[in-house]
Chains A and B, each alone.
Chain A
Amino acid sequence: MTMNAEIGSPANARQENRMERPSFRLPLASLAFWGISLAWFIIVIIPLIILFVYSFFTTQYFQTVYSPSLETWTSLFSSGRFEVTLRTLRIALTVTMIELLVGFPFALWLAKGNVSKLGRAIFLALLTIPFFLDLSSRTIVWRAILGQNGLVNTILISTGLTEGPVDWLLYSEFSVHFGMIPALFPPMVLPIYMAINLIDDTLIEASSDLGGSPAQTFSRVILPLSLPGVMAGFVFTLGPALAAWVEPGMLGGGFVNLLSNSIESAYTALRYPVVAALSAFVIGLLLLLLGMMMLVLRRFGGSGLTLR
């Protein structure tokens, strides 16, 4: 009787509910996991496999020849497209690192610095404005400023700093970097700002109370806790930088041929296999890069980003 009474008590009923819930949730969670995995496989993995397979075909007279060959892959090297891929990666990584170096201190200042609420709101609004403006319109303005007869050269010549116009200001890798940096600043800063803003101020105060120097507080509290934002900012910046089309087109003057320009050119001749090979190659490089980043961040304690 006692046992029955105990079993029937409200406390035991709650206990039973707690016991039962996992058995109900597990199949649902399992179902969701397999459902999402299947959808992921169909939507992402299968197209990637098709892409990779396509890269082993060729194009003749605007028609894909479905006979396996390494010709497309070898042509990537003979046509210089391999260098395009590496150049794109180099420029994208350079821009991303510059954004990180400039963006992190800015985000830290904005989130934890002595900034009024109004000031913070204004800066955040300014960071979002570029999303509402056409990138081409923002970029083409630089041509009038950086050109041989542009504002910068006019000032340089009229002040006697240079005798003639400085050519490399426009139509060079410098100008492409210069155009990409302001365009990709918000995607780097905003995630880092969000991550730093979420750090509880008491943690920073506790570090200070325990005798930690500002440098120690930064390296042992702020930096590890902001790593999810850094990772997100890195990905959000690197992705668009790899796909940059407007800045190299408008500011590179055709001398900074990047991946998107190369893909577009191939597409005009309906060379799908070349597009597939270039895309597969870049995806491989990206996976390698992100894998390396995961390992580095794991080492620095960014547990939220790892697969642990």
Chain B
Amino acid sequence: MKDKFSTTEQIELTRRTMLQGMAAVAGTATLGGAASLAPGAANAQGMPLVKAYGVPTAALKDWSPMEASIGVRCELSGTSNDVGVFMRDIMASNLGDSADLFIFESGTEDILGPRGFYAEIQTDHPELSLWERTSDDWKRSDVVTDKDGTQWGVPVIGNADSFGYFPAKLGLDADSEEELSWSLMFEDENTRGRVAFGQGWAYSFPSAALYLKSTGKADIGNVADMTGDEAKIVADFLIERKKAGQFRTLYGAFEEQIQLLTNEEVDVINCWEPAVREANLVLGPDATRYAYTVEGYFKWGHGAYVAKQAMERDNVDAIYKVLNYFLSGEYRALQARDRGYAGPNMDLGVAYAEENGWSQEEIDALKATEAKVAKKFSKPFVSTTTPQNSAEIEDQWQRFLNA
């Protein structure tokens, strides 16, 4: 997801996954050497290998369904979601010499594509069979194309972020799907002093800009890529709200999102959807909700990008099989079920679940995810990790933090 905050979640998820994996490995080991000679394991070792580097959110909790489906193994080396770290690794460390695929949030393709670190996607590659049926909303989005429209990536997952809230504290029904205004975050008297706001500029700044733009309080062109002057207007607004005591805290990590909700330290928080889910596991169903908003969402997506050097290697077909798998129903269903994230071809995900005997509850949850995403994605805006004026924006964000 966004900036460094997602890092923690991804690391946490990875930790959990890793622990589960380690437990599984330990269990396997106790069964003796015979287990390692199982046909599946032997087959997996003989499969073509695709090495990926990127955020672990895109990884399946278990890659074996993919191996069974397309006969390719994938090894993902995880990184944090810090775009600076990610781009430094690719540019300065020549990771393309060893990695075939890069998976990251939208924005890096605008820089690393034209500078020759990513290979342009061959949309007519025979292994990319699902490309044609994938909607342009996903495959031609800013997540995977640059400003000239060049196709640098394949969409993997995405979501539309808003804020979590306590319906009871705001006087709303627990099952309400009413669209709420971002004013609850920034200007509502009832929430003053009870709001948590993310302290990463890439994640939080655009949401405030979206609110100001939508309510006509500021004239802003592209909220995802503000000019320095526009960023100054938003910073001034946030400083004023900060001094008015609107924010209880400016949080910095995914664990904090969960803690702030479960401790009921705040009533409203701009956060990821999984934080609300985690909080509800502690507080009870629908104790907190993830808002549908009036003004729009922080829409984000992860893309898979092919390393330029990989096109000279002998596993290009395997790479494209993995790219195609990211568009498939199996990947979509597994990702939606395990992480709650959406992506292209959600209908294929539902079809996969129905064909493979998933429970009605799981199928309904997939359909709900599909409907939810369709509703949210009809509104602005698509985020980027690499705004043109990042230096000026970061400076203005510092001004807000230091005020």
In the complex formed, the residue of A with least CB distance to B85 is A267
Chain B residue contacts of A144, Cβ below 8 A: 259, 263
CB distance from B245 to the nearest CB of A (A): 9
| Interface of chain B residues 382 through 403 with chain A (CB within 8 A) | 386, 388-391, 393-399, 401-403
Stretch binding the partner chain, chosen from A53-61, A194-202, A232-240: A53-61
Most chain A CB neighbours (cut-off 10 Å) among B4, B248, B391, B397: B391
Q: Judge if B229 is at the interface, Cβ distance under 8 Å.
A: no
CB distance from B315 to the nearest CB of A (A): 30
CB distance from A157 to the nearest CB of B (A): 15
Chain A residue contacts of B85, Cβ below 8 A: 267
In the complex formed, the residue of A with least CB distance to B393 is A269
- Partner of B265 from A148, A250, A267, A270 at Cβ < 8 Å: A148
- Partner of A147 from B200, B201, B265 at Cβ < 8 Å: B265
CB <8 Å contact, A269 and B399: no
Write the B343-372 contact mask toward A (1 if CB under 8 angstroms, else 0): 000000000000000000000000000000
Chain B residue contacts of A171, Cβ below 8 A: 248-249
Chain A residue contacts of B201, Cβ below 8 A: 265, 268
In the complex formed, the residue of B with least CB distance to A245 is B252
| Interface of chain A residues 73 through 96 with chain B (CB within 8 A) | 75, 78-81, 83-84
Write the A248-261 contact mask toward B (1 if CB under 8 angstroms, else 0): 01100111010001
| Interface of chain B residues 16 through 71 with chain A (CB within 8 A) | none
Chain A residue contacts of B401, Cβ below 8 A: 80, 254, 257, 261-262, 265
- Partner of A83 from B251, B395, B402 at Cβ < 8 Å: B402
CB <8 Å contact, A80 and B87: no
Q: Judge if A149 is at the interface, Cβ distance under 8 Å.
A: yes
Write the A132-169 contact mask toward B (1 if CB under 8 angstroms, else 0): 00000000100110011110000000000000000100
How many chain A residues touch the partner (CB < 8 A)?
Answer: 38
In the bound complex, what is the Cα–Cα distance between A20 and B1 (angstroms)? Answer: 71
Most chain B CB neighbours (cut-off 10 Å) among A59, A140, A253: A253
Q: Judge if B82 is at the interface, Cβ distance under 8 Å.
A: yes
Q: Judge if A62 is at the interface, Cβ distance under 8 Å.
A: yes
The B interface is mostly helix, strand or loop, or mixed, namely helix
Q: Judge if B264 is at the interface, Cβ distance under 8 Å.
A: yes
Chain B residue contacts of A140, Cβ below 8 A: 255, 259
Chain A residue contacts of B72, Cβ below 8 A: none
In the complex formed, the residue of A with least CB distance to B390 is A269
CB distance from B75 to the nearest CB of A (A): 27
Chain B residue contacts of A59, Cβ below 8 A: 390-391
In the complex formed, the residue of B with least CB distance to A63 is B111
Chain B residue contacts of A147, Cβ below 8 A: 263, 265
CB distance from B10 to the nearest CB of A (A): 16
In the bound complex, what is the Cα–Cα distance between A164 and B237 (angstroms)? Answer: 29
Chain B residue contacts of A257, Cβ below 8 A: 398, 401-402
Chain B residue contacts of A75, Cβ below 8 A: 395
Q: Judge if B84 is at the interface, Cβ distance under 8 Å.
A: yes
Chain A residue contacts of B398, Cβ below 8 A: 79-81, 84, 257, 262, 265
Q: Judge if B146 is at the interface, Cβ distance under 8 Å.
A: no
Most chain B CB neighbours (cut-off 10 Å) among A63, A143, A171, A268: A268
CB <8 Å contact, B252 and A254: yes
Q: Judge if A271 is at the interface, Cβ distance under 8 Å.
A: yes
Chain B residue contacts of A60, Cβ below 8 A: 391
In the complex formed, the residue of B with least CB distance to A58 is B391
- Partner of A267 from B84, B199, B250, B393 at Cβ < 8 Å: B84
Most chain B CB neighbours (cut-off 10 Å) among A78, A167, A257: A257
Q: Judge if B83 is at the interface, Cβ distance under 8 Å.
A: yes
Q: Judge if A296 is at the interface, Cβ distance under 8 Å.
A: no
Chain B residue contacts of A62, Cβ below 8 A: 84, 87, 111, 386, 390
Q: Judge if B88 is at the interface, Cβ distance under 8 Å.
A: yes
In the bound complex, what is the Cα–Cα distance between A95 and B259 (angstroms)? Answer: 27
Q: Judge if B105 is at the interface, Cβ distance under 8 Å.
A: no
In the bound complex, what is the Cα–Cα distance between A84 and B395 (angstroms)? Answer: 13
In the bound complex, what is the Cα–Cα distance between A262 and B394 (angstroms)? Answer: 10
Write the B77-97 contact mask toward A (1 if CB under 8 angstroms, else 0): 000001111011000000000
Asked, given contacts A61-B111, A79-B402, A80-B403, whether A269 binds B391 with beta carbons under 8 Å apart, the answer is: yes
CB <8 Å contact, B395 and A78: yes
- Partner of B250 from A80, A254, A266 at Cβ < 8 Å: A254
CB <8 Å contact, B82 and A268: yes
CB <8 Å contact, A271 and B394: yes
Asked, given contacts A268-B200, A269-B390, A271-B394, whether A149 binds B251 with beta carbons under 8 Å apart, the answer is: no
Q: Judge if B3 is at the interface, Cβ distance under 8 Å.
A: yes
Among all A-B residue pairs, the 6 with the closest Cβ atoms: A254-B250, A80-B402, A253-B249, A79-B395, A269-B390, A79-B398
A-to-B contact residues, CB < 8 Å: 58-63, 75, 78-81, 83-84, 140, 143-144, 147-150, 167, 171, 249-250, 253-255, 257, 261-262, 264-271
7 contacts between A and B (CB under 8 A): A79-B398, A80-B398, A253-B251, A254-B250, A257-B398, A261-B401, A266-B394
